[in-house]
Amino acid sequence: MDILIADIKYLKSYKIFLFECFSNGLLKYESALHDPKSYLHNIIVDSPQTSSYFCMQGNEILGVIRCRHYTTPYIESVIGHVGYETKPSARGKGVAKFMLVWLQENVLTKDIVITCEANNLASKKVIESCGGQYINQIYSPEKKNEVKRFQLALTH
């Protein structure tokens, strides 16, 4: 597996990733499916504030990870500084942990807040296996769900 910065040259693979994620219940990608090229372009253009990376195996995108280089109360309490998704067919194969460790070692410049929905046990396990220290659990009206918050330290 390799981690590469998100780039329009991976559009074909990104479309496949989006479709599989959406088809397996990741509804946030519905709008991306209408115009994947523009969606990916916007991710790339937003790079001064948010860096996005693809976890690749050959030409296949196995996962996507984002790091927000700024903070707001919403980031601190609900979505965290890092967000990631693993392609459903690649789950359980260490992709999320690989991406998060890579981010800790190569991108993070300070300790950050990372969150997951309280019922997402796989993500909780990944965060904890990377050294995430539990802060608390809150109810997010935006997500209409409980969210677990963790402090994630640098590893370098």
User: According to the model, what pLDDT value does residue 8 have?
Assistant: 93
Distance (Å) of CA 13 to CA 6, 19, 32: 11, 10, 14
Residue 112's Cβ-count burial label (10 Å; 0-12, 13-18, 19+) is: buried
Share above pLDDT 70 across residues of the chain, in percent, rounded to a whole number: 97
Of 120, 115, 129, 100, the C-alpha closest to 25 is 120
| pLDDT value of position 98 | 98
pLDDT of residue 47: 61
Q: Identity (one letter) of the amino acid at 5?
A: I
Q: Is the Cα torsion angle 56, 78, 125, 133 positive or negative in sign?
A: positive
Return the bridge partners of 116, or none: 148
Domain boundaries, the chain: 2-152
* Confidence (pLDDT) at 25: 83
Q: What is the pLDDT of residues 79-136, one digit of tens each?
A: 889 999 999 999 999 999 999 999 999 999 999 999 999 999 999 999 999 999 999 9
pLDDT of residue 30: 85
Q: Lowest-pLDDT range, 58-67, 118-127, 129-138, 140-149?
A: 140-149
- Average of per-residue pLDDT values in the chain: 91
Which CATH number is associated with domain 2-152? 3.40.630.30
Contact 50, 66 (CB under 8 A): yes
Say if residue 61's pLDDT is above 70: yes
Q: How confident is the model at residue 48 (pLDDT cuts 50, 70, 90)?
A: low
